[in-house]
């Protein structure tokens, strides 16, 4: 069964799967396009799902859409909502803007072959669940209302706070100078569950008109759609604190028990050695990758080349290399499809599937496929069956070229012309080098009496 690193336990643990596994993933805040660093997080939950389903385990997934409550400063209890600020900047209504970027996110995840979750609730459409949860926490003594209509979680009523990140209460310091710590709070580390407000994206509640805090949204939606106990919670490592610590406190306090069995986090993605950000000018969208002539699944391939909890430094060279591999493998699979059918190469399947089960060691699984590609002792028909079998987890659409007319990838025509000229001038070293470059693009060249041919 799948073994995966549990951030809270700080060790690799086996997922105790029965007939079904329930998994929650913190979804996007839909105020802008998701960049490829954001999208890496969602590959993690997709891989978990595919590996478990390969073991005939049913996965019920929930991934929220945050369209209200996420302030410009993730750690603040005051400030402007990201959706409202961007809507004003773009001259749209908040919900119009949110739906636009939600659809863009869905299109990007579909292009990366990420399977859609069973439940994808929007925060703006489930505020009643949040109000109900906040009222329960107030009634239990875990939260308190203040005169301006705010409601805060009383973190000192939850002694195990900090088990995910290691940030324990007795070591937490105020985020600001002590003379400006929020006087409404009983303790500086308390956070807002409900915030007063008027205008767009606000609702009536027992404490007055306002909107929910970002952290309470995930607690309310996960408890509603997955129940009081579920097996896996995933997200990027940046949400470990304070978002997941706050979420765990809220959910456990409301239910009286540990709600999540395993907290699983994916590491950061850098681009050209820097964190992806507008200020550094290195934000790369999936549409940028496609505009560069690369298959969007080259992004997925580049991610698979690294463990999910390993920091990844992505570059354009990395993406181009991943694109060449995907195209070459599709070409080889289409070629092997013409051969006599043969059983799976079970030895290669076992090794790759063992890598998947070992904390999602996708780089090791890809190495197995590269060995199989070069192994002349394995029949082409067996290679065909094995590649497609393992592609059920990899999700690279390796069968996409079967039955389709062959189209040269970008740059291949020029290489073929250069190779023809090299052969005419008897420059065999250049001819061999160009043959290798074409093979990297997925173009297999053969020499005949009539000249070179390609497939």
pLDDT band at 76 (very low <50, low <70, confident <90, very high): low
Mean pLDDT of 208-214: 94
Q: Is 62 known to sit in a ligand binding site? A: no
Structural domains of the chain sorted by starting position, each given as residue range(s) with its CATH number in brackets: 3-266 (3.40.50.620), 271-394 (no CATH), 412-454 (no CATH)
User: In whole angstroms, what separates CA 87 from the centre of its chain?
Assistant: 25
Tokens of 409: 């990838």
Residue 440 has pLDDT above 90, yes or no: no
Q: How many CB atoms lie within 10 A of CB 200?
A: 14
Tokens of 12: 């690799």
Tokens of 53: 């389903």
Q: Are strands 274-275 and 260-266 parallel, antiparallel or unpaired?
A: unpaired
pLDDT tens-digit series, residues 23-58: 999 999 999 999 999 999 999 999 999 999 998 999
pLDDT tens-digit series, residues 374-400: 999 999 999 999 999 999 999 999 998
Mean pLDDT of the chain: 92
Given a contact cutoff of 8 angstroms between Cβ atoms, the answer to whether 250 and 137 are in contact is: yes
Q: Is 278 known to sit in a ligand binding site? A: yes
Q: How many CB atoms lie within 10 A of CB 425?
A: 9
pTM higher than 0.85: yes
pLDDT of residue 253: 98
User: In whole angstroms, what separates CA 297 from the centre of its chain?
Assistant: 14
pLDDT tens-digit series, residues 398-430: 998 887 666 778 888 889 989 989 888 888 889
Q: Residues 6 or more apart from 345 whose CB is under 8 A from it?
A: 372, 378, 382, 383, 385, 386
Q: What is the 3-state secondary structure (H, E, C) of the chain?
A: CCEEEECCCCEEEECCCCCEEEEEECCCECCCCCEHHHHHHHHHHHHHHHHHHHCCCEEEEEECEECCCCECCCCCCCCCEHHHHHHHHHCCCHHHHHHHHHHHHHHHHHHCCCCCCCECCEHHHCHHHHHHHHHHHHHHCCEEECCCCCEEECHHHCCCCCCCCCCCHHHCCCCCCHHHCCCCCCCCCCEEEEEECCCCCCECCCCCCEEECHHHHHHHHHHHHHCCCEEEEEEEHHHHHHHHHHHHHHHHHHHCCCCEEEEEEECCEEECCEECCHHHCCCCEHHHHHHCCCCCHHHHHHHHCCCCCCCEEECHHHHHHHHHHHHHHHHHHHHHCCCCCCCCCHHHHHHHHHHHHECCCHHHHHHHHHHHHHCCCCCHHHHHHHHHHHHHHHCCCCCCCCCCCCCCCCCHHHHHHHHHHHHHCCCHHHHHHHHHHHHHCCCCEEEECCEEEEC
Residue 81 has pLDDT above 90, yes or no: no
Q: Is 218 known to sit in a ligand binding site? A: yes
Instruction: State how far the Cα of 437 lies from the Cα of 92, in Å rounded to an integer.
Output: 48
pLDDT of residue 176: 45
Q: How many CB atoms lie within 10 A of CB 19?
A: 7
pLDDT band at 177 (very low <50, low <70, confident <90, very high): very low
Q: Is 247 known to sit in a ligand binding site? A: yes
pLDDT of residue 405: 65
pLDDT band at 75 (very low <50, low <70, confident <90, very high): low
Residue 449 has pLDDT above 70, yes or no: no
Tokens of 7: 């951030």
Q: Is 243 known to sit in a ligand binding site? A: yes
């Amino acid at each position: 069964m799948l073994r995966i690193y549990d951030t809270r336990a700080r060790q690799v643990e086996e997922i105790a799967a029965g007939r079904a596994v329930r998994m929650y993933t913190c979804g996007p805040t839909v105020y802008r396009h998701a960049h490829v660093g954001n999208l890496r997080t969602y590959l993690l939950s997709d891989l978990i799902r595919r590996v478990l389903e390969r073991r005939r385990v049913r996965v019920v997934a929930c991934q929220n859409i945050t369209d209200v409550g996420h302030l410009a400063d993730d750690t603040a209890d005051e400030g402007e909502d990201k959706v409202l600020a961007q809507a004003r900047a773009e001259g749209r209504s908040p919900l119009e803007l949110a739906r636009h970027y939600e659809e863009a996110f869905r299109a990007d995840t579909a292009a990366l072959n990420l399977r859609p979750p069973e439940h994808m609730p929007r925060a703006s459409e489930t505020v009643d669940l949040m109000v109900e949860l906040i009222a329960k926490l107030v009634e239990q003594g875990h939260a308190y209302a203040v005169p301006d209509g705010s409601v805060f979680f009383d973190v000192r009523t939850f002694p195990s706070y900090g088990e995910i990140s290691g940030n324990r209460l007795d070591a937490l310091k105020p985020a600001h100078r002590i003379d400006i710590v929020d006087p409404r709070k009983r303790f500086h580390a308390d956070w807002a569950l409900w915030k007063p407000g008027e205008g767009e994206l606000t609702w009536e509640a027992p404490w007055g008109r306002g909107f929910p805090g970002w952290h309470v949204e995930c607690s309310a939606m996960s408890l509603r759609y997955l129940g009081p106990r579920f097996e896996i919670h995933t997200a990027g490592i940046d949400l470990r604190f304070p978002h997941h610590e706050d979420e765990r406190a809220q959910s456990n306090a409301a239910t009286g028990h540990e709600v999540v069995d395993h907290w699983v986090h994916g590491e950061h993605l850098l681009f050209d050695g820097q964190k992806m950000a507008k200020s550094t000018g290195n934000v790369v969208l999936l549409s940028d990758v496609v505009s560069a002539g690369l298959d969007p699944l080259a992004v997925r391939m580049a991610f698979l080349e690294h463990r999910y909890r390993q920091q990844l430094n992505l570059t354009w060279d990395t993406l181009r290399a991943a694109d060449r591999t995907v195209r070459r493998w599709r070409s080889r699979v289409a070629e092997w499809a013409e051969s006599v059918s043969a059983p799976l190469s079970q030895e290669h399947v076992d090794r790759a599937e063992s890598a998947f089960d070992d904390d999602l060691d996708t780089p090791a699984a890809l190495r197995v496929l590269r060995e199989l590609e070069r192994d002349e002792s394995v029949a082409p028909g067996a290679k065909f069956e094995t590649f497609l079998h393992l592609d059920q987890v990899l999700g690279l659409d390796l069968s996409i070229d079967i039955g389709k007319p062959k189209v040269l990838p970008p740059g291949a025509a020029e290489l073929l012309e250069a190779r023809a000229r090299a052969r005419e001038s008897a420059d065999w070293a250049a001819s061999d080098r160009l043959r290798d470059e074409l093979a990297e693009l997925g173009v297999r060249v053969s020499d005949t009496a009539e000249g070179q041919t390609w497939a």
